[in-house]
A and B are shown apart, each in its own frame.
Chain A
Amino acid sequence: MTDLKNRYDLAVIGAGPAGLAAATLAAKRGVSTVLLDEQAAPGGQIYRAVTQTPVRNPSVLGTDYWHGADLVGPFRDSGAEYLPSSTVWSVSRSLEIGLSREGAARILPARHIILATGALERPFPIPGWTLPGVMGAGAAQILLKTSGLVASGNVVLAGTGPLLWLLAWQYLRAGARIDTILDTTPRENWRQAMPHMTTFLRSGYIGKGLKLLLEVRRKVKVIDNVTSLRAEGDGRVQSVLFRRGDGAEQRIPADTLLLHQGVIPNINLANATGCAQAWDETQRCWVPTVDAWGATSVEGVSIAGDGAGIGGALAAEHRGRLAALDALHRLGRMDRAQRDREAAPHREALEKAERGRVFLDTLYRPGKDFRVPQDDTIVCRCEEVTAGQVRDAVKLGVSGPNQTKSFLRCGMGPCQGRLCGPTVVEVIADARGVSPAEVGYYRLRPPVKPITLAELASLPKREDEIAAVAPH
């Protein structure tokens, strides 16, 4: 890493659509730009392995996926520096990036930082979800894209949201078998989504999305209105117990259970940096607070893409370009008028890309029982804390997730709340009878990804920092 600059004008973190587009635009304007990503190849999650997938038949993964390749070429030609296999574990308010590469850590300063760390699957806590053989539908999609692996044996998909149907469609195209799709979309969501239907019909989603949905429904057994789920098995998942509406419980065999109920912003790095965040009631998740350019409450830090609110891959691209334009302005390379002028086509494209989102967000909002699970369900996978234990803590007077952490160790594991935070907040909110906004979220600190003690020890230290540790 000795050939890196001492300070870049712009550092972009995350090589998905937002990061690729942002880095490309900025670098083409002559701003010294570096794109950092923890994967070995560009694409983020949505375009994962787009330059390397062993699934060569383009009709399996679909044209939307292959659009990702159109972002990589221009990026490679832009003049931006690319650092793959580099994990960012810290961003300080003074715009110093803590990164780790090949087991060695270093601090990389920048004048402006764009976080483009995207989204992750919303936790789907059901009894038995920690059993081997239960994984996210997104995980199965990654296995397909990076390794050409598909689930076999009895394969059950469960949940709600566009990704679930997309995966099912990709599986069918690949010749893989799906036994059942258990659709947990709540019946009442249709009524609430109706007012947004007209906008949705004008969007880009309607054509492809509907076609995909209908094809899957034609070829796969789909059970609607699933209101409860339980993964069962001895040492690994062997069956799924579910209920339809108020009906009796039914059991089906499963060797693999793929769960999905939407994606939510990955907020850990933003939170640990000190960026303000707020609860978004429509998307029912925590979102960093950003302005129209993606600027956060921390001077010099912007967020582009799904990390600032779920908008999908195309919206992410446009937001990335808008954030890059704003960065150019903040770096003094472009005055405000020029920035606004150049932004106009991207804003238009963004508006078009976001059209119809509210309908999807409303339709696919997960039902309460899948956000606020039963007592015996593990909510914190790392520390194995159940929903019942969280409720007991609330009865003792614990009012938020940070106190819950102290009482139960919930959120203290290596995932740092990525898989438990949303659930813990909803369980507390439900138990207290207040909104999640009032409950708040974990306060996170670096490192947001683990680094070894030796790596940490190797970082540069200022005089006063060393003095702070001298014996007192």
Chain B
Amino acid sequence: MTERQRSDYDVAVVGGGLVGSAIAWGLARQGQKVAILDEGDIAVRPSRGNFALVWVQGKGLGLPEYAAWTKRSSDSWAGFSAQLREETGIDVCFERPGGFLPLLSEAEVEHRTNQLKRLHNQPGVVRYDYEILDHAAVAKEMPFIGKDVVGASYCPLDGHCNSLKLLRALHIGLDRSGVSYLPHHRVERIEQRGGGFAMVTAAGEVRSGKVVIAAGHDGRRLAPMVGLNAPVRPERGHIIVTEKTAPFLKHPVGFIRQTDEGGVMIGDSFEDAGFDTTVRNGVTSTIADRAIRIFPQLGRLNVVRTWAALRVLTPDGFPIYEESASMPGAFVATCHSGVTLAANHALALAPHIAAGSLPEEFKAFSARRFDVPKAA
């Protein structure tokens, strides 16, 4: 056996956004010595595009394991948030009041109904309640709902949190656990070195026993360096935020939610625009128009901010969690639901990384699924 060279860290996590921070937090709780390598102030930062939802309904059509993974995270979220609060004093305002996805035509209702039916008919899929509601049923819960809302799909497991407080709580927790957060450390290359890995950056080299690539869009470039594949692409989404308003909306309503601070967040849109995050007034206008159809009262509120951010999308939209076969100890973790899955990343994924390998249940999330030609 060759002597293993001493590494600076047990694990280097490449990426300090929602995914990287949650994994690093979980690793620290397992007693691992961790470094996070992050970029500087101006970086793509897809985490900025999050909608702060902890959302279950509708997820997993095409990959039933994802439905289970999502529900598991949602069920763990309250405990996760309690741990964060205990450790850092920050309440990330997790609420699970149930969520509505508004449907604005009979066609949408039919489409959604079929979608959810197919999802829940998948063999081995996890069971949980959901309902298709008509306008009257929605109005009972939210009397101010617009008349254009024909119905909604409702799930009692849907919720939301304050994602900025989440990121802050994670970073404070990381700091308290002695995790080294290294900004301005964009990873140029990852090399195998002396039984571990070396991350080569402009600010110097960082050595670790294991490496987790949680670098959002940069995963595409980095994964092959460790024998993995993360074929992610950017998808632009716009978000609108209004001025702080007295609480009137308890439930997250798909792409409309009121934050604990009072502002109303309104989304969502989907564009292939490469890495361009220029805000298009025509898109935000369409988003605004739809929101007013759903809640007419929103029309009089002032828009305080808009922004566009880039989702990190795999070819089927489901996460990739995988350990490299050719370079054991190298992992990739990528998804576009970094808030919903934060609890899992911290409490269900990190312990396996700490132990050194991912069990069988993660096979479904391997990127090799993209190599298999689809059955006719």
A residues contacting B by CB (< 8 A) are: 90, 92-93, 96, 98, 107, 274, 395-403, 406-409, 412-414, 416, 439-440, 443, 445-447, 450-454, 456-462, 464-466, 468-469, 471-472
Tell whether B306 is near chain A: CB-to-CB under 8 Å.
Answer: yes
Q: Which residues of A contact B370 (CB under 8 A)?
A: none
A398 to B111, CA, bound (A): 44
Q: A445-B305, A457-B299, A465-B282 are in contact. List 14 more A-B contacts (CB 8 A).
A: A399-B183, A399-B184, A403-B41, A440-B42, A450-B303, A451-B303, A452-B301, A454-B292, A459-B281, A461-B283, A465-B283, A466-B286, A468-B269, A469-B283
| Interfacial chain B residues near A462, Cβ < 8 Å | 282
Give the residue name and chain of the B residue nearest to A395 (CB).
Answer: B175
Q: Which residue of B lies closest to A446 (CB)?
A: B279
Closest to A439 in B: B41
**Bound CA–CA A397/B302 (angstroms):** 33
Interface of chain A, main secondary structure = loop
24 CB < 8 A contacts A-B: A96-B281, A397-B16, A397-B171, A398-B41, A407-B164, A407-B167, A409-B164, A412-B305, A416-B304, A445-B306, A446-B281, A452-B303, A453-B266, A454-B288, A454-B299, A454-B300, A457-B292, A460-B285, A461-B285, A465-B286, A466-B282, A468-B238, A468-B283, A469-B269
Query: Considering the chains assembled together, what is the distance between the CA atoms of A92 and B270 in angstroms?
Result: 20
Which of B282, B288, B305 contacts A460, CB < 8 Å? Answer: B282
Contact among B279, B282, B288, B304 for A413, CB-based, below 8 A = B304
Contact of A469 among B16, B281, B290 (CB under 8 A): B290
Instruction: Provide the bound-state CA to CA distance between A396 and B170, in Å.
Output: 11
Let me know if B183 and A397 touch, CB within 8 A.
Answer: yes
Q: A406-B167, A469-B290 are in contact. Are A93 and B278 (CB under 8 A)?
A: yes
User: Which of B111, B283, B299 is the one whose CB lies under 8 Å from A453?
Assistant: B299
Q: Are A453 and B303 in contact (CB under 8 A)?
A: yes
Pairwise interchain contact A453-B286, C-beta atoms closer than 8 A: no
The 4 closest A-B pairs by CB, nearest first: A400-B41, A465-B282, A454-B299, A457-B288
**Distance between A469 CB and nearest chain B CB, rounded to angstroms:** 4
Choice from A395, A416, A452, A468 contacting B299 with Cβ under 8 Å: A452
CA of A414 to CA of B304, assembled, Å: 5
B63 sits at the interface (CB 8 A) = no
In Å, the complex CA distance between A408 and B40 comes to: 17
Distance in Å: Cβ of B250 to nearest Cβ of chain A: 20
A453 contacts B304, CB within 8 Å?
no
CA–CA, A408 and B171, complex, Å: 12
Closest to A90 in B: B281
Interface string of B298-336 (1 = CB under 8 A from A): 111111111110000000000000000000000000000
Interface of B is mostly: mixed
Is B242 in the interface zone, CB < 8 Å from A? yes
Q: Which residues of B from 145 to 172 have beta carbons under 8 Å from A? A: 164, 167-168, 171-172
A414 near B164 with CB under 8 A, answer: no
Do residues A451 and B302 form an inter-chain contact, with CB atoms below 8 A? yes
Contacts of A456 in B (CB 8 A): 240, 281, 284-285, 288, 303
Interface residue count on the B side (C-beta < 8 Å)? 55
- Return chain A residues, CB-CB under 8 Å to B261: 409
Residues of B within 8 A of A92 (CB): 281
Q: Which residues of A contact B16 (CB under 8 A)?
A: 397
Interchain CB contact under 8 A, B167 and A468 = no
Partner of B168, one of A407, A451, A459, A471: A407
B102-143 interface bits toward A, Cβ cutoff 8 Å, 1 = contact, 0 = none: 000000100100000000000000000000000000000000
Inter-chain contact A414/B302, CB cutoff 8 Å: yes
**A443 partner, pick from B42, B175, B238, B287, beta carbons under 8 A:** B42
Q: Nearest residue in B to A411 (C-beta to C-beta)?
A: B305
Given known pairs A446-B279, A459-B281, A472-B270, the reply for A400 and B40 (CB within 8 Å) is yes
**Among B38, B167, B289, B307, which residue has the most Cβ atoms of chain A within 10 A?**
B289
With A409-B261, A453-B298 already in contact, the answer to whether A98 and B41 are too (CB < 8 A) is: no
Nearest CB of A to B366, in Å: 25
B363 at the interface (CB under 8 A from A): no
Instruction: Give B108's nearest chain A residue, CB to CB.
Output: A471
CA distance A396 to B175 in the complex (A): 7
Bound form: Cα–Cα A470–B304 in Å: 24
**B48 in the interface (beta carbon within 8 A):** yes
B182 CB within 8 Å of chain A: yes
Task: Let me know if B243 is at the binding interface, CB within 8 A.
Answer: yes
Pairwise interchain contact A469-B278, C-beta atoms closer than 8 A: no
Q: What residues on A are CB-neighbors of B269 within 8 Å? A: 468-469
B182 and A397 contacting across the interface, CB-CB below 8 Å: yes
**CB of B197 within 8 A of chain A?**
no
Chain A hits for B352, CB < 8 A: none
B343 within 8 A of A: no
Q: Which residues of B contact A445 (CB under 8 A)?
A: 279, 305-308
Q: Is the CB of B281 within 8 A of A98?
A: yes
User: Would you give the shortest CB distance from A462 to chain B, in whole angstroms?
Assistant: 5
Which A residues touch B282, using CB under 8 A? 459-462, 465-466
A98 to chain B, nearest CB (A): 6
Asked whether any CB of chain A lies closer than 8 Å to the CB of B339, the reply is: no
Residues in chain A near residue B287, CB distance under 8 A: 469
Q: Is B190 an interface residue (CB 8 A)?
A: no
